[in-house]
Structure 1
Amino acid sequence: MNSPLPDPSIAIAGRIRIEREARGWSLGELAEKSGVSKAMISKVERGEASPTATILGRLSGAFGLQLSVLLALAERTGERLSKAQAQSVWIDPETGYERRVISPQNGAMLELIQVTLPAGVRVAYPASAFVFQHQQIWVLDGSLTFEEGGLTHVLDAGDCLQLGAPCDCAFHNTRDVPCVYAVALIRR
């Protein structure tokens, strides 16, 4: 029997508070910089609400961090091996979007993420979530419609897209089956 995968929600909540306090920002200042309500940030920091992918993208952008760096800081263990049963999995409570950190959590420059996007789900991120990273998307199973600013890319299994300059983006699964894709990130 497999043991449950670690839930990173508590570590994420603590890291958001650490990042906010390290900058000397009040909840109101972070709300203003991120576009996330003060009440929601407070609930996330207290562990009363699990942040959605969009909220995490906005908060990481306000901190000037890649989303992957914010999550890696929350989950850092220093290991070089990442065993499948110990990989951190975060599930967006709003959409069911599942984000699995494949890479060892040691702060390395390259990070691999596996995402399972449920059927019909669309997740959008502001340009600020992409400013600090180069990113490639490799579709492993299913089909992904990726909106990159004014461009739309339809990616099928095996297709790989290197993202261009930071802009507002959205990951959309228009099919009736889940889409699984890998994201390779490297800091700019």
Structure 2
Amino acid sequence: MNVADIDTNLGSRIKLERENRGWSLTELAQRAAVSRAMIHKIERGESSPTANLLGKLSGAFGLTISTLIARAETNTGRLLKVADQPVWTDPETGYVRRHVSPHSDLPLELVRVTLPPGKTVPMPRSAFAFLRQLIHVLEGKLTFVEGTVQHHMSAGDCLELGPPADCAFVNGSNADCTYLVAVLSTK
């Protein structure tokens, strides 16, 4: 699936999630702290959302980013082949997010992320409000900023996130950092 298709599918899914809740564009904008105009552009597939923006929108819906992306794709069944795994690239940072777990009733999701060198992806606390997460670094170095605390991680390290806080994923190195996020929904 190409980037334009992903943007169109994400936009349509965001609009559907908003309409299913009976929310106007203005109400979603207020709940997510995102401009009404930006949401409108995303819903029409005219703009690709950043990771931070997806975090704000998914948090407003009470969904994980992975769930929002997976709902934009149509994957079913217990086996999700690598060729069928939804992949989304943040247009701002080049951050690549691959949803590796099949869409199911399990409250657990697995997401593989590659963060390019020198890039930072901030996430609002609303994206973590109803989740428990583990971050396991597969390759490279990652600094995970959790509120005011910095966790410096290398390949093989695993971190359990604490209470919801504004966070940032930081790759201060000169090589890609690849990590796995295990997301447990507590809703």
Q: TM-score, normalised by structure 2?
A: 0.93
What's the offset of the Cα at 1:136? 0.2
What's the offset of the Cα at 1:62? 1.3
**1:105 maps to which residue?**
103
Query: Which of 67, 70, 84 is the matching residue for 1:72?
Result: 70
What's the offset of the Cα at 1:5? 9.6
Gaps of 5+ in 2: none
What's the offset of the Cα at 1:172? 0.2
Distance 2:7 2:100 in 1: 17
SS at 1:30 equivalent: helix
**2:131 maps to which residue?**
133
**2:85 maps to which residue?**
87
**2:27 maps to which residue?**
29
SS at 1:28 equivalent: helix
Letter in 1 for 2:33: G
Distance 2:4 2:30 in 1: 32
Letter in 2 for 1:13: G
Aligned 8 A contact 2:60 2:126 in 1: yes
Letter in 2 for 1:136: L
**2:47 maps to which residue?**
49
Gaps of 5+ in 1: none
- Deviates most, 52-61 or 98-107: 98-107
SS at 1:140 equivalent: strand
Distance 1:149 1:4 in 2: 35
Q: TM-score, normalised by structure 1?
A: 0.93
Distance 2:109 2:95 in 1: 19
Q: Tell me whether 1:10 sits opposite 2:4 in the alignment.
A: no
Percent of aligned pairs with the same amino acid: 54
Task: Give me the CA root mean square deviation.
Answer: 1.8
Letter in 1 for 2:53: I
Aligned 8 A contact 1:43 1:49 in 2: yes
